[in-house]
């Protein structure tokens, strides 16, 4: 059993796709263990995207994610990190397969609706960054 962090970005919230995204994950049998709606501060966004500091798109990314409310979520399940990444689809709209979240709903590389952790270390970092322990449900395995 593992956990991952998922964020519906401002464009997904604005387009009212939060419920659809949650439905897809729940239909796959994943367990939602934490969720909140918030407008990220610049400080939170900079910490979240620190790995991209110095890259040409960093400033635009931070500005975009702080431009409106996001839905931060923690999901749990077997192989949840890789499963969520596959369900999200490729970052580039032209490479995102139909049936994935991005393949069905995006046409812009920056406004790509959703973020999901890319590995166990990143998932732990992101969940700890966005949630306190008291905001998460206890694991089914405990």
pLDDT band with cut points at 50, 70 and 90 for residue 141: low
Residue in 115, 126, 130, 131 annotated catalytic: 115
For the chain, what are the domain ranges? Answer: 2-85+116-135
Is 52 labeled as catalytic in the residue annotation? Answer: no
Band of the pLDDT at 109, cuts 50, 70, 90? confident
**Percent helix / strand / coil, the chain, rounded to 5:** 45, 20, 35
Q: What is the DSSP string of 60-83?
A: HHHHHHTSS-EEEEEEEETTHHHH
CB-based contacts of 108, cutoff 8 Å, min separation 6 = 93
The Cα-based distances of 31 to 17, 22, 52 in angstroms read 19, 10, 29
* CATH 3.30.70.141 correct for 2-85+116-135: yes
With tokens 């997904």, the residue in question is 12
Q: Considering the entire predicted model, what is its pTM?
A: 0.94
Q: With cut-offs at 50, 70 and 90, classify the pLDDT of residue 140.
A: low
């Amino acid at each position: 059993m593992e956990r991952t962090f998922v964020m519906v970005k401002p464009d997904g919230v604005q387009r009212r796709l939060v419920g659809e995204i949650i439905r897809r994950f729940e239909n796959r049998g994943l367990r939602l263990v934490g969720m909140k709606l918030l407008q990220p501060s610049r400080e939170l966004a900079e910490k979240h995207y620190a790995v991209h500091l110095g890259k040409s798109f960093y400033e635009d990314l931070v500005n975009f994610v702080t431009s409106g409310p996001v839905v931060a979520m923690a999901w749990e399940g077997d192989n949840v990190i890789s499963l969520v990444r596959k369900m999200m689809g490729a970052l580039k709209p032209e490479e995102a397969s139909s049936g994935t979240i991005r393949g069905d709903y995006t046409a812009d590389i920056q406004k790509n609706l959703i973020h999901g952790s890319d590995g166990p270390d990143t998932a732990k970092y992101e969940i700890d960054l966005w949630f306190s322990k008291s905001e998460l449900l206890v694991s089914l395995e405990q």
